[in-house]
Amino acid sequence: MDKLTVRDVPVRGKRVLVRVDFNVPLDKERGAVTDDTRIKESLPTIRYLMDNGARVVLMSHLGRPDGKVVGSLRMGGVAKRLSELLGKPVRTVADCIGPEVEKAVGQLQAGEVVLLENIRFHAEEEKNDAAFSQALARLGDVFVNDAFGTTHRAHASTVGVTRYLPSVAGLLVEKELKALGQALEEPARPFAALVGGAKISDKMGVVGNILKKLDLLLIGGGMAATFLKVKGLEVGGSLVEVDRIVWAEKMMREAEESRVRLLLPVDFVVSEKPDGSAPSQTVRANAIPARSLVVDIGPETVKSFSAELRKCKTVLWNGPMGIFEVPGFASGTRAMAELLAGLNATTIVGGGSTAEAVVNMGLKDRMTHVSTGGGASLTFLEGETLPGVAALQDKK
């Protein structure tokens, strides 16, 4: 990574303004955090700053308040959980900018932590407003971006503040960029990508960018239907993005020309309802009933995908194999997660729903890396610039 990190700048005695991604699910009635994965991922950066005598000022968004104060989206529950994880009290304030907030930050002692109120209570945050960015920057002497999941957004708290403060990467952002970058640039081979999800349009950029770097591409999930259509197969009521058929045909042709093996499912679990309220059955890929839609890959596909993935030394996975939120349609996704968890290989799991599935299945710690950023990891894998990273200081 060619960006300076928090280890490269003096922090002792300084106010360090840290953008974290504490956009975590809450219990609606109690306001308590129900999944603290994202909080735990930023603990190394926070502890590093505390241990090195910084005065730590954390800022994050929570939910989608659309520029208004929403009581259920206040940061109190997040601060409580962070306090428990750190074993030290975390202060809170009533806003994220203004004289009272500046006063509270000024009273911080070395090693103490304050969590600002939800920055998206201000519409200026998502507009990357200059005055709002300056108001945030007045709270710090140094800025650290440790919110990888928001680095694809040019907001005040990710890009705007970098115009007014020395700005470096946190340890989580460093870890994410190294893991994803190494998978693409220096993979141990054979190198495979397992790509799924409902829509082919969501993964076009990723597949297009990494295809020629791969040895093996496996397509699962609902998006496989569009590839089957290219082969002249009927896919029943499955979603087919007609305007993407030409692109899918092009990818299949490029894979063949580049000697990248492309595997499609040979069987599927199908149903007439995506919510599990109708019966399901397993059928061959060339025998999908007219009114049925693909809801999961089938057992024969699991076997064929597994046999190929066991030969690989690097596997990048982005996108579930079916509608895993419905228990009856989660078998394919679970099978792939369990397989990757047991491989003697580098296993990189993209963020978003794929990461959610792996975490829910209790397999996160058995993967080499599980990304915290859905949109950010997709943008990176597409070969696009992450504004929140580009704005940080270069090592050179």
Q: Give me the DSSP letters along 290-343.
A: TT-EEEEE-HHHHHHHHHHHTT-SEEEEES-SS-TTSGGG-HHHHHHHHHHHH-
CA distance 309 to 268: 19
Q: Which residue has the tokens 């640039």?
A: 185
Is the backbone peptide bond immediately before 279 cis, with ω within 30 degrees of 0? no
Residue 286 confidence (pLDDT): 95
CA distance 11 to 7: 9
Burial class (CB in 10 A: 0-12, 13-18, 19+), 91: middle
List the beta bridge partners of residue 394: 3
State the CB neighbour count (10 A cutoff) for residue 66. Answer: 10
Residue 193 confidence (pLDDT): 96
* Average pLDDT value for residue range 205-227: 94
User: pLDDT at residue 27 above 90?
Assistant: no
Q: In whole angstroms, what separates CA 33 from the centre of its chain?
A: 19
Summarised one tens digit per residue, pLDDT across range 254-268 is: 999 999 999 999 999
For residue 140, give every residue at least 6 positions away whose Cβ sits within 8 Å of its Cβ, in sequence order, or none. 14, 15, 16, 17, 57, 161, 165
User: pLDDT at residue 327 above 80?
Assistant: yes
Residues catalogued as catalytic: 38, 199, 352, 375
Q: Which of 86-100, 105-119, 123-137, 192-206 has the lowest mean pLDDT?
A: 192-206
User: pLDDT at residue 1 above 80?
Assistant: no
* Average pLDDT value for residue range 356-381: 93
State the CB neighbour count (10 A cutoff) for residue 364. Answer: 16
pTM: 0.91
* Average pLDDT value for residue range 50-60: 98
Task: Give the β-pairing of 267-271 and 293-297.
Answer: antiparallel
Q: Which residue has the tokens 């499609």?
A: 264
Mean pLDDT for all residues in the chain: 95
Task: Give the β-pairing of 55-59 and 90-92.
Answer: unpaired
Region of residue 332 (phi > 0: left; psi between -120 and 50: alpha; otherwise: beta):
alpha
Residue 28 confidence (pLDDT): 78
* Average pLDDT value for residue range 177-183: 93
Domains of the chain: 6-172 (3.40.50.1260), 179-381 (3.40.50.1260)
User: pLDDT at residue 23 above 90?
Assistant: yes
User: pLDDT at residue 73 above 90?
Assistant: yes
Task: Give the β-pairing of 280-284 and 267-271.
Answer: antiparallel
* Cα–Cα nearest to 62, from 162, 156, 150, 172: 150
CA distance 69 to 35: 23
Residue 67 confidence (pLDDT): 97
CA distance 382 to 206: 4
